[in-house]
Amino acid sequence: MTSPKLQSPALIQNVSAEPNPEWDQFLVNFFGQEQLPNSPLQPIFEPLHHPTTDSMFVIGQIGQTMDGRIATVSGQSKYVNGPAGLTHLHQLRALVDAVVVGSGTVLADNPQLTVRKVNGKSPARVVIDPRARLNRHHFIWQDDGVQKIWIVAEGTLVNPPPQVSLVQLPVIEGSIDPALILKNLFIQGLKRVLIEGGAETISRFLVAKCLDRLHIIVTPIVMGSGRLSFNLPPIEHMDQALRLEVKTHLLGSDVLFDCDLRNQRIVLNLVQDDLVQTRNSE
Ligand SMILES: NC(=O)c1ccc[n+]([C@@H]2O[C@H](COP(=O)([O-])OP(=O)(O)OC[C@H]3O[C@@H](n4cnc5c(N)ncnc54)[C@H](OP(=O)(O)O)[C@@H]3O)[C@@H](O)[C@H]2O)c1
Protein backbone atom coordinates (compact mmCIF):
# COMPACT_ATOMS: atom_id res chain seq x y z
CA MET A 1 0.00 0.00 0.00
CA THR A 2 1.24 3.51 -0.80
CA SER A 3 2.22 5.56 2.21
CA PRO A 4 0.11 8.73 2.68
CA LYS A 5 3.41 10.64 2.58
CA LEU A 6 3.70 9.92 -1.13
CA GLN A 7 0.17 10.98 -2.03
CA SER A 8 0.31 14.75 -1.64
CA PRO A 9 2.74 17.32 -3.01
CA ALA A 10 1.78 19.43 0.04
CA LEU A 11 3.32 16.86 2.33
CA ILE A 12 6.96 17.84 2.45
CA GLN A 13 8.91 15.56 4.77
CA ASN A 14 11.06 17.48 7.18
CA VAL A 15 14.21 15.84 8.49
CA SER A 16 13.69 17.16 12.02
CA ALA A 17 9.98 16.22 12.21
CA GLU A 18 8.93 13.78 14.90
CA PRO A 19 6.97 10.73 13.61
CA ASN A 20 3.28 11.64 13.62
CA PRO A 21 1.19 9.47 11.25
CA GLU A 22 -2.06 11.07 12.47
CA TRP A 23 -0.79 14.50 11.42
CA ASP A 24 0.57 13.20 8.10
CA GLN A 25 -2.83 11.74 7.21
CA PHE A 26 -4.58 14.94 8.30
CA LEU A 27 -2.27 17.04 6.11
CA VAL A 28 -2.99 14.87 3.07
CA ASN A 29 -6.73 15.23 3.69
CA PHE A 30 -6.50 18.98 4.35
CA PHE A 31 -4.96 19.72 0.97
CA GLY A 32 -6.66 16.94 -0.94
CA GLN A 33 -10.25 16.65 0.19
CA GLU A 34 -13.36 18.81 0.16
CA GLN A 35 -14.61 17.35 3.46
CA LEU A 36 -12.23 16.55 6.30
CA PRO A 37 -12.81 13.12 7.83
CA ASN A 38 -13.26 12.93 11.59
CA SER A 39 -9.99 12.86 13.50
CA PRO A 40 -8.71 14.37 16.76
CA LEU A 41 -7.13 17.19 14.73
CA GLN A 42 -10.28 17.97 12.75
CA PRO A 43 -12.12 20.10 15.40
CA ILE A 44 -9.04 22.31 15.87
CA PHE A 45 -8.07 22.89 12.24
CA GLU A 46 -11.37 22.52 10.34
CA PRO A 47 -12.05 26.31 10.39
CA LEU A 48 -8.90 26.91 8.33
CA HIS A 49 -10.18 24.57 5.66
CA HIS A 50 -13.18 26.64 4.59
CA PRO A 51 -13.06 30.44 4.91
CA THR A 52 -16.55 31.80 5.62
CA THR A 53 -16.34 35.61 5.54
CA ASP A 54 -14.58 36.04 2.20
CA SER A 55 -11.80 34.28 0.30
CA MET A 56 -9.25 34.83 3.06
CA PHE A 57 -8.78 33.13 6.40
CA VAL A 58 -6.72 34.93 9.03
CA ILE A 59 -5.68 33.31 12.28
CA GLY A 60 -3.66 34.85 15.10
CA GLN A 61 -1.71 32.73 17.55
CA ILE A 62 -0.04 33.69 20.77
CA GLY A 63 1.67 31.53 23.37
CA GLN A 64 1.38 32.94 26.86
CA THR A 65 1.89 32.16 30.53
CA MET A 66 -1.01 31.91 32.98
CA ASP A 67 -0.44 35.55 33.89
CA GLY A 68 -0.68 36.66 30.27
CA ARG A 69 3.02 37.12 29.44
CA ILE A 70 4.53 36.23 26.04
CA ALA A 71 8.16 37.07 26.80
CA THR A 72 10.46 38.19 29.59
CA VAL A 73 11.08 41.89 30.19
CA SER A 74 14.17 41.62 27.98
CA GLY A 75 12.06 40.09 25.17
CA GLN A 76 13.14 36.45 25.49
CA SER A 77 10.34 34.04 24.53
CA LYS A 78 12.04 30.75 23.59
CA TYR A 79 10.03 28.84 24.63
CA VAL A 80 6.97 29.99 26.49
CA ASN A 81 4.96 26.92 25.46
CA GLY A 82 5.60 23.25 26.11
CA PRO A 83 6.49 20.75 23.31
CA ALA A 84 2.86 20.09 22.31
CA GLY A 85 2.14 23.83 22.09
CA LEU A 86 5.18 24.24 19.87
CA THR A 87 4.08 21.34 17.66
CA HIS A 88 0.70 23.04 17.33
CA LEU A 89 2.39 26.22 16.09
CA HIS A 90 4.35 24.27 13.46
CA GLN A 91 1.11 22.53 12.39
CA LEU A 92 -0.53 25.92 11.93
CA ARG A 93 2.42 27.07 9.81
CA ALA A 94 2.10 23.95 7.64
CA LEU A 95 -1.56 24.72 6.91
CA VAL A 96 -1.23 28.39 5.93
CA ASP A 97 0.09 30.17 2.83
CA ALA A 98 1.86 32.91 4.78
CA VAL A 99 3.11 33.65 8.28
CA VAL A 100 3.25 37.31 9.38
CA VAL A 101 5.31 38.82 12.19
CA GLY A 102 6.16 42.33 13.31
CA SER A 103 9.65 43.79 13.25
CA GLY A 104 9.85 43.51 17.07
CA THR A 105 9.71 39.71 16.91
CA VAL A 106 12.42 39.44 14.26
CA LEU A 107 14.67 41.84 16.16
CA ALA A 108 14.10 40.01 19.47
CA ASP A 109 14.10 36.37 18.32
CA ASN A 110 15.59 36.17 14.83
CA PRO A 111 13.08 33.36 14.11
CA GLN A 112 13.16 31.03 11.10
CA LEU A 113 9.36 30.76 10.78
CA THR A 114 9.71 27.43 8.96
CA VAL A 115 7.93 24.11 9.51
CA ARG A 116 10.34 21.77 11.27
CA LYS A 117 8.62 19.86 14.07
CA VAL A 118 6.05 18.23 11.76
CA ASN A 119 5.90 17.30 8.10
CA GLY A 120 4.59 20.03 5.82
CA LYS A 121 5.56 22.89 3.57
CA SER A 122 6.91 26.12 5.06
CA PRO A 123 4.67 29.13 4.35
CA ALA A 124 5.71 32.44 2.82
CA ARG A 125 7.36 34.71 5.40
CA VAL A 126 6.09 38.26 5.80
CA VAL A 127 7.44 40.93 8.12
CA ILE A 128 5.80 44.28 8.89
CA ASP A 129 8.69 46.68 9.33
CA PRO A 130 7.55 50.22 8.45
CA ARG A 131 10.82 51.87 9.48
CA ALA A 132 12.98 49.20 7.82
CA ARG A 133 14.71 48.36 11.10
CA LEU A 134 15.68 44.87 9.88
CA ASN A 135 18.98 44.17 8.21
CA ARG A 136 19.74 41.75 5.37
CA HIS A 137 21.06 38.98 7.63
CA HIS A 138 18.04 37.79 9.59
CA PHE A 139 17.10 34.08 9.30
CA ILE A 140 13.73 34.93 7.73
CA TRP A 141 15.58 35.99 4.57
CA GLN A 142 17.39 32.66 4.20
CA ASP A 143 17.37 31.45 0.62
CA ASP A 144 15.29 28.27 0.94
CA GLY A 145 12.94 28.78 -2.00
CA VAL A 146 10.14 30.13 0.18
CA GLN A 147 8.46 33.42 -0.81
CA LYS A 148 9.54 36.36 1.40
CA ILE A 149 7.85 39.74 1.74
CA TRP A 150 9.20 42.82 3.52
CA ILE A 151 6.48 45.39 4.21
CA VAL A 152 7.78 48.91 4.81
CA ALA A 153 6.30 52.41 4.89
CA GLU A 154 5.65 54.11 1.58
CA GLY A 155 8.74 56.03 0.49
CA THR A 156 11.20 54.08 2.66
CA LEU A 157 14.49 53.39 0.93
CA VAL A 158 15.48 49.74 1.31
CA ASN A 159 17.80 47.44 -0.53
CA PRO A 160 16.16 44.05 0.04
CA PRO A 161 18.13 40.81 0.03
CA PRO A 162 17.88 38.62 -3.09
CA GLN A 163 14.50 36.96 -3.68
CA VAL A 164 12.71 39.23 -1.21
CA SER A 165 9.66 41.18 -2.41
CA LEU A 166 9.43 44.71 -1.10
CA VAL A 167 5.93 46.07 -0.47
CA GLN A 168 5.49 49.73 0.38
CA LEU A 169 2.27 50.73 2.13
CA PRO A 170 0.97 54.02 3.53
CA VAL A 171 1.36 54.62 7.25
CA ILE A 172 -1.58 56.50 8.69
CA GLU A 173 -1.43 57.69 12.30
CA GLY A 174 1.55 55.41 12.92
CA SER A 175 -0.04 52.28 11.52
CA ILE A 176 -0.39 50.36 8.28
CA ASP A 177 -3.99 49.24 7.89
CA PRO A 178 -4.05 45.46 8.55
CA ALA A 179 -6.83 45.09 5.96
CA LEU A 180 -4.54 46.64 3.35
CA ILE A 181 -1.77 44.22 4.33
CA LEU A 182 -4.14 41.28 3.87
CA LYS A 183 -5.37 42.54 0.48
CA ASN A 184 -1.78 42.71 -0.67
CA LEU A 185 -1.12 39.17 0.44
CA PHE A 186 -4.30 38.10 -1.32
CA ILE A 187 -3.21 39.55 -4.65
CA GLN A 188 0.02 37.58 -4.28
CA GLY A 189 -2.05 34.40 -3.91
CA LEU A 190 -1.63 34.15 -0.13
CA LYS A 191 -5.11 33.47 1.22
CA ARG A 192 -4.60 31.57 4.46
CA VAL A 193 -2.59 33.75 6.79
CA LEU A 194 -1.13 33.17 10.25
CA ILE A 195 -0.40 36.27 12.33
CA GLU A 196 2.26 34.86 14.65
CA GLY A 197 3.12 37.87 16.73
CA GLY A 198 4.21 39.60 18.65
CA ALA A 199 1.73 41.34 20.88
CA GLU A 200 1.70 44.63 19.00
CA THR A 201 1.11 43.03 15.62
CA ILE A 202 -1.67 40.68 16.76
CA SER A 203 -3.33 43.50 18.71
CA ARG A 204 -3.46 45.70 15.61
CA PHE A 205 -5.11 42.91 13.57
CA LEU A 206 -7.54 42.30 16.43
CA VAL A 207 -8.50 45.97 16.80
CA ALA A 208 -8.92 46.24 13.01
CA LYS A 209 -11.30 43.24 13.14
CA CYS A 210 -9.12 41.36 10.69
CA LEU A 211 -8.91 38.01 12.49
CA ASP A 212 -11.23 35.06 11.88
CA ARG A 213 -9.75 33.07 14.68
CA LEU A 214 -7.32 33.49 17.55
CA HIS A 215 -5.40 30.63 19.13
CA ILE A 216 -4.21 31.51 22.61
CA ILE A 217 -2.03 28.75 24.05
CA VAL A 218 -1.72 29.04 27.80
CA THR A 219 1.16 27.29 29.49
CA PRO A 220 1.25 26.51 33.24
CA ILE A 221 3.91 29.06 34.08
CA VAL A 222 3.60 32.26 36.08
CA MET A 223 6.25 34.75 34.99
CA GLY A 224 5.25 37.59 37.28
CA SER A 225 6.78 40.17 34.98
CA GLY A 226 7.41 40.48 31.26
CA ARG A 227 5.60 41.48 28.09
CA LEU A 228 1.84 41.19 27.92
CA SER A 229 -0.02 39.27 25.20
CA PHE A 230 -2.12 42.19 24.01
CA ASN A 231 -1.97 45.94 23.82
CA LEU A 232 -5.53 47.18 23.23
CA PRO A 233 -7.09 50.62 23.71
CA PRO A 234 -8.24 51.24 27.32
CA ILE A 235 -11.88 50.65 28.23
CA GLU A 236 -13.98 52.17 31.03
CA HIS A 237 -16.44 49.36 31.69
CA MET A 238 -16.30 45.59 31.67
CA ASP A 239 -19.12 45.37 29.12
CA GLN A 240 -16.80 47.06 26.60
CA ALA A 241 -14.29 44.20 26.89
CA LEU A 242 -13.98 41.78 24.01
CA ARG A 243 -15.88 38.67 25.11
CA LEU A 244 -14.75 35.64 23.14
CA GLU A 245 -16.56 32.57 21.93
CA VAL A 246 -14.12 29.84 22.86
CA LYS A 247 -13.49 26.12 22.62
CA THR A 248 -10.66 24.62 24.66
CA HIS A 249 -8.32 21.75 23.82
CA LEU A 250 -5.56 20.16 25.86
CA LEU A 251 -2.13 20.24 24.19
CA GLY A 252 0.04 18.25 26.58
CA SER A 253 0.42 20.47 29.63
CA ASP A 254 -0.74 23.55 27.65
CA VAL A 255 -4.35 24.60 27.01
CA LEU A 256 -5.43 25.94 23.63
CA PHE A 257 -8.17 28.56 23.72
CA ASP A 258 -9.57 28.47 20.18
CA CYS A 259 -11.42 31.79 19.86
CA ASP A 260 -13.96 32.27 17.09
CA LEU A 261 -13.93 35.89 15.89
CA ARG A 262 -15.99 35.46 12.73
CA ASN A 263 -18.82 37.54 14.17
CA GLN A 264 -16.65 40.63 14.24
CA ARG A 265 -14.35 40.01 11.24
CA ILE A 266 -14.77 42.71 8.55
CA VAL A 267 -15.32 41.69 4.94
CA LEU A 268 -12.20 42.50 2.93
CA ASN A 269 -12.64 44.09 -0.47
CA LEU A 270 -10.49 41.62 -2.34
CA VAL A 271 -11.06 42.80 -5.90
CA GLN A 272 -8.82 45.88 -5.99
CA ASP A 273 -5.56 45.27 -7.78
CA ASP A 274 -3.98 48.72 -7.76
CA LEU A 275 -3.01 48.79 -4.14
CA VAL A 276 0.74 49.12 -3.86
CA GLN A 277 4.02 49.16 -5.58
CA THR A 278 5.61 45.76 -5.27
CA ARG A 279 8.98 44.98 -6.67
CA ASN A 280 11.17 41.96 -6.62
CA SER A 281 14.83 42.34 -5.95
CA GLU A 282 17.22 40.64 -8.31
N1 LIG B 1 4.95 33.91 22.92
C2 LIG B 1 4.64 34.12 21.66
O3 LIG B 1 3.73 33.50 21.11
C4 LIG B 1 5.39 35.15 20.89
C5 LIG B 1 5.20 35.22 19.51
C6 LIG B 1 5.88 36.22 18.81
C7 LIG B 1 6.70 37.10 19.48
N8 LIG B 1 6.86 36.98 20.82
C9 LIG B 1 7.68 37.94 21.57
O10 LIG B 1 7.05 39.19 21.41
C11 LIG B 1 8.03 40.22 21.47
C12 LIG B 1 7.82 41.15 20.29
O13 LIG B 1 6.52 41.64 20.34
P14 LIG B 1 6.24 43.18 20.11
O15 LIG B 1 4.83 43.42 20.43
O16 LIG B 1 7.28 43.97 20.84
O17 LIG B 1 6.61 43.34 18.59
P18 LIG B 1 5.96 42.80 17.23
O19 LIG B 1 4.50 42.71 17.33
O20 LIG B 1 6.71 41.61 16.78
O21 LIG B 1 6.38 44.00 16.26
C22 LIG B 1 5.79 45.25 16.45
C23 LIG B 1 6.30 46.20 15.44
O24 LIG B 1 5.96 45.75 14.12
C25 LIG B 1 5.55 46.83 13.33
N26 LIG B 1 4.12 46.68 13.04
C27 LIG B 1 3.35 45.59 13.28
N28 LIG B 1 2.11 45.80 12.80
C29 LIG B 1 2.09 47.02 12.26
C30 LIG B 1 1.11 47.80 11.60
N31 LIG B 1 -0.15 47.35 11.38
N32 LIG B 1 1.43 49.04 11.19
C33 LIG B 1 2.68 49.53 11.36
N34 LIG B 1 3.66 48.83 11.99
C35 LIG B 1 3.37 47.59 12.42
C36 LIG B 1 5.86 48.08 14.13
O37 LIG B 1 7.19 48.34 13.80
P38 LIG B 1 8.01 49.69 14.16
O39 LIG B 1 8.12 49.73 15.65
O40 LIG B 1 9.33 49.47 13.49
O41 LIG B 1 7.25 50.85 13.62
C42 LIG B 1 5.68 47.58 15.56
O43 LIG B 1 6.30 48.33 16.54
C44 LIG B 1 9.39 39.55 21.45
O45 LIG B 1 9.91 39.56 22.75
C46 LIG B 1 9.07 38.14 21.03
O47 LIG B 1 9.97 37.24 21.61
C48 LIG B 1 6.22 36.04 21.55
Split into its structural domains, the chain has a count of 1
Quote the ligand 1 centre to 102 CA distance (angstroms): 4
Q: Is 200 in the pocket of ligand 1 (CB under 6 A)?
A: yes
In a domain, 133, yes or no: yes
Quote the ligand 1 centre to 135 CA distance (angstroms): 16
What are the pLDDT digits (tens) for 3-62?
444 446 567 889 999 899 999 999 999 999 888 999 999 999 999 998 889 999 999 999
Q: Is 133 in the pocket of ligand 1 (CB under 6 A)?
A: yes
Q: Is 178 in the pocket of ligand 1 (CB under 6 A)?
A: yes
Quote the ligand 1 centre to 133 CA distance (angstroms): 12
In a domain, 23, yes or no: yes
Instruction: Measure the CA–CA gap between 233 and 99, rounded to whole angstroms.
Output: 25
DSSP state of 31: H
Ligand 1 pocket test, pick from 61, 67, 70, 254 with the greatest ligand atom count within 8 Å of Cβ, gives 70
Single-letter amino acid code for the residue at 66: M
In a domain, 7, yes or no: no
In a domain, 182, yes or no: yes
Q: Which H or E run includes 100?
A: strand 98-102
pTM above threshold 0.75: yes
In a domain, 278, yes or no: no
Residue 188 belongs to domain spanning: 12-29+40-231+241-272
In a domain, 124, yes or no: yes
Q: What is the C-alpha radius of gyration for the chain, rounded to an integer number of angstroms?
A: 18
In a domain, 22, yes or no: yes
Q: Is 194 in the pocket of ligand 1 (CB under 6 A)?
A: no
Assign residue 205 the CATH number of its domain.
3.40.430.10
Q: Is 85 in the pocket of ligand 1 (CB under 6 A)?
A: no
Question: Could you list the pLDDT tens digit for every one of the 282 residues in the chain?
Answer: 344 444 465 678 899 998 999 999 999 999 998 889 999 999 999 999 988 899 999 999 999 999 999 999 999 998 899 999 999 999 999 999 999 999 999 999 999 999 999 999 999 999 999 999 999 999 999 999 999 999 999 999 899 999 999 999 999 999 999 999 999 999 999 999 999 999 999 999 999 999 999 999 999 999 999 999 999 999 999 999 999 999 999 999 999 999 999 999 999 988 654 444 444 443
In a domain, 280, yes or no: no
